[in-house]
Amino acid sequence: KESKPIEYLSKFSLGIYATHKYFQYLSIIFLSPYFATIGISKKLQLGIFRINVQAIAITALTISFTVLAVQLLEKTPLRKYIH
């Protein structure tokens, strides 16, 4: 038996692939000026690790909006394009 995340990915892989870049671009467009305005450095030093905060924020928003969009599209007649 497949796990829930694997089952979700296999069912909606086309929808995820088709929509994730749009949300990634929107996240970049809206977050880049915000990070520049508040003056957060792109990379924070945490001990021996350098963490790219902007990349983590963009990734989190992209994943969140992609999953939300796929869930919403599944409830509409457009679901034939995401399965």
- Shortest CA distance to 12 belongs to which of 66, 52, 57? 66
What's phi and psi for 41, nearest 5 deg? -65, 145
For each of the chain's 83 residues, which pLDDT tens digit applies?
A: 678 888 888 888 888 888 899 999 999 999 888 888 887 766 777 888 888 888 889 999 999 999 999 999 889 998 887 77
pTM, two decimals, is 0.78
**pLDDT tens across 28-49, in order?**
999 888 888 887 766 777 888 8
What's phi and psi for 25, nearest 5 deg? -65, -45
Handedness of CA 58, 61, 66, 67 (dihedral sign): positive
- Shortest CA distance to 28 belongs to which of 62, 65, 63, 52? 62
